[in-house]
Structure 1
Amino acid sequence: MSVSRTRTASVAVPFAAALTAVALVGGCSSSGSGGSGSGSGSGNSDRSTTQAAPAAANGLQEDYQKVIKDVLPSVVQIDAAEGLGSGVVYDGKGHIVTNAHVVGKERRFKVTTATGEQTLTAELVAAYPEQDLAVIKLADMPKGLKAAEFGDSTKAEVGQIVLAMGSPLGLSSSVTQGIVSATGRTVSEGRSGGGTGATIANMVQTSAAINPGNSGGALVGLDGKVIGIPTLAASDPQMGDSAAPGIGFAIPSSMVKTVADQIVKNGKVTDSGRAALGISGRTVLGDDYRPAGVAVVEAQQGGAAAKAGLAAGDIITRLGDDRITTINSLSEALASAEPGQKRRVTYVRDGDEKTADVTLGEM
């Protein structure tokens, strides 16, 4: 499976989101005499259950509506020259967090609030393409726009109800609903069409619809806290790379806060927390013309690989227990590791297989 960015196209399409509540009601019958008493009891039970079902549905609907009312004023639409994206107000000073692929190489943006009544201007503070995150800052912080509350993404659970808020296909202030489908996913983003090529670990997978323009928006739990920034939608190569419905990915809020806090404070990321080998490399093919490893093009002087004795021309085939066949598989293996950890690297030099214990560096 591959993933595609959720960049917008200039398309206006009519669509609606429907909320359906289904209640399963179990009935039982009693045997013996006292038909009228039995019938009366059954009728009361049926009426009680019937009344409870709409009440439960109404309660869930009210929860949805409260979250939307509370959080939507914190979600904005970002208009860049190459397309539209979304953003989340990060603090009361006008900082907005979004995706690096939304801002691209631009420095000035038009920002529209959820009501659509205010069009504001913002400038880039810094982008961090390695994690596909960026922070922009409004020239003025208007009334009615408030900072979102970010939750603890490490506590996200499979089955948890979530809402995705953003501007899919340029339709601002749109909301879709789903669940957390999985956590801890490591996903690589393509570079085609302006993607950053980032490999991102610990992503939250969701069934909430993630469409072009949702990028940079908010994935929110029913407690009203943002647990992720929607970034990628899966695509199916067998279907011509068309979107795979119900499979989207969001950058976890824990990483969002780590990166955004550094950008707001320092104007850049000073501590990536990302492991690195300190090499540049390329995918090589085996005798069967299939990807068979990563050839070291350059081992940076003083880098983790060079310190362990790896050199240009070596072909890396394993990192710890992970088999390495492509640059992407190496990036994904590194994304799940931390700087300072030790990993055994298996590589081929002049046809001979060798190993080296490497203390991972930082990206």
Structure 2
Amino acid sequence: KLNVAPPAVILLVGLQGSGKTTTVAKLGNLLRKDYKKNPLLVPADVYRPAAIEQLKTLGQSLQLQVYDSDVSKDPVEIARNAVDFGRNRGHNVVIIDTAGRLQIDPELMSELKEIVAAVHPQETLLVADSMTGQEAVNVARGFDQNLGLSGIILTKLDGDARGGAALSMREVTGKAIKFSGIGEKLDALEVFHPERMASRILGMGDVLTLIEKAVQEVSVEDSLELQKKIKKNLFSLDDFLSQLRMVRRMGSVTSLASMIPGMGKLMKEVDPEHAEKELKRVEAIILSMTPNERGNHAIINGSRRRRIAKGSGTSVEEVNRLLKQFTEMKKVMQKLSKGGIGGLMSMLGGKLPSALGGGAR
């Protein structure tokens, strides 16, 4: 509901600990990046001492303007004045962060109702923690009965909770889940697609979202350049580092794995924190190499490996393992670029067909 005379007002409500303040920044970032909006972030939570500073810091890191407020001011006045400020300064969207409580109480609802009456928001969105399960459903019901929600933002969907609460909330409130938080990074907020979430809940993955994330990170030109390097056997550790960083920008290992069919169950056996640490360790090893070493890993002899291990805080064995894995990966990439799957099968010595029930006839 943003196609109104500017500014459109979005009010975010919810309990403490649901990720409301961070979601204000994430939503502002998403609206600017994907919808070409010019959002103003408004800290109207004067009760949690760090809330105002937190939003200012987040806004600064994203280069989004944050309305100047402090704990001595009335939240209703902050919201009203911020909307006027946004209108006068050319902001077409104003996103207001409100106070939360440990539980729903009359005082909280009274203040939120006053803010709604003062600014007439186009959207009143509940920020709810998906990890709290049934409790999140009860919270949604309480806020909707008091304020008349227009939608829900479900946070922490990259964790073990796969979104069952989402289905219950939709059923109880009749209000759509509009966005989902899928990680701690400030770009880890996405438009909610119910059919894709149903697929994730069933463990069938979400390939469409994975493709969308990849498209956002890789240009056609970069992809073609990478293909040329692979075909000419020029793929270097610098290129590998770039690909590694691209994957990390796309989201956590857990959230990415949940989008790949069949990987969800496999990831239950993997420690996500350990996987993230492994990625950081590999990056540290590569960054401890010289430009020449990253461009031509064949020159990395014993003394160089010892220096790299010392510089990256790892062992020589870990450096050796990375170089061996990189060499094997280059072989696989070469085979795939030359002969497709057939080339890969020949490299595997015909083992793959028999494993799939093929082999000699």
Flag whether TM exceeds 0.5 (same fold).
Answer: no
Q: Which has the higher strand share?
A: 1
Q: Which has the higher helix share?
A: 2
Q: Which has the higher contact order (CA 8 A, sep 6+)?
A: 1
* TM-score normalised by length of structure 1: 0.25
